[in-house]
Amino acid sequence: MNKNKLIAGVDEVGRGSWIGPVFSAAVILKKNINKNLLKDSKKISGKERKQLSNYIKKNSIYSISKASIKEIDKLNILQATLLSMKRAINNLKHKPNIILIDGTHVPKNMSYHCKTIIRGDEKIPAISAASIIAKVARDRYITRLAKNYTSYSWHTNFGYGTKKHLKAINKFGVTIHHRKTFKPMYNILLNKKK
């Protein structure tokens, strides 16, 4: 690997979900990786994502980090997302020269040269790789949670705001894994206090 030009791709997953931490990954691809295999994680099947995630991990320097529900509720989802990205970048074993971040925001107080790229997960292989390994990591985490909360269908909705999920919250209540500042949970908890 040419140490003069280390490029890290960064992406997050789970920002719009109603439950659990937000996950981010930072990835520096090794030269031998097949970049043609890398695409936006949302455009490939779960099975393919898992295989690609293993392939990426073997052929890259990577880091996966998260920001907790408490941090999301305290800071707001955008700031918590940026915090999880910052952690992923800072945890990389090699320090990149440039960081390409999916979206429009850069974490605060970064000592790196950062550049944001809208729809970067579709355009930049390193960001695609980050989106894939972050999504697989988060999906695994949510799948484990789902086993103890079968009424909420997290194994299929992964905590996102489906009608079935909302119905379950109204029927069974807000769990410790729900983001309390997100609208549906916030409104339900507010009505309980009245």
Tokens at 75, concatenated:
């800071």
CA dihedral 107, 108, 113, 116 (to 10 degrees): 40
In a domain, 51, yes or no: yes
From the list 135, 134, 132, the residue with the least C-alpha distance to 38 is 132
| b/e code 166-191 from CB counts within 10 Å (16+ = b) | eebbeeeebbebbbeebebbeebeee
Residue 152 within any structural domain of the chain: no
Cα-trace Rg, the chain: 17
pTM: 0.93
| Residue-level pLDDT at 4 | 63
Residues in contact with 95: Cβ distance below 8 Å, sequence separation at least 6, in sequence order: 6, 112
Of the listed ranges 37-41, 93-97, 105-109, 178-182, the least confidently predicted one is 37-41
In a domain, 165, yes or no: no
98 DSSP 8-state letter: E
What pLDDT score does 40 carry?
Answer: 80
State pLDDT tens for residues 185-194: 999 898 876 5
Q: Is residue 167 part of a domain?
A: no
* pLDDT tens readout for residues 87-146: 999 999 999 999 999 999 999 888 899 999 999 999 999 999 999 999 999 999 999 999
Tell me if 193 is assigned to some domain.
no
- Position 177 in a domain: no
Strand partners, 116: 101
User: How is residue 161 annotated by DSSP?
Assistant: -
Whether 173 maps to a domain, the answer reads no
Residue 161 located in a structural domain: no
Domain span at residue 139? 3-146
When divided into structural domains, the chain yields a total of 1
CATH of the domain at 104: 3.30.420.10
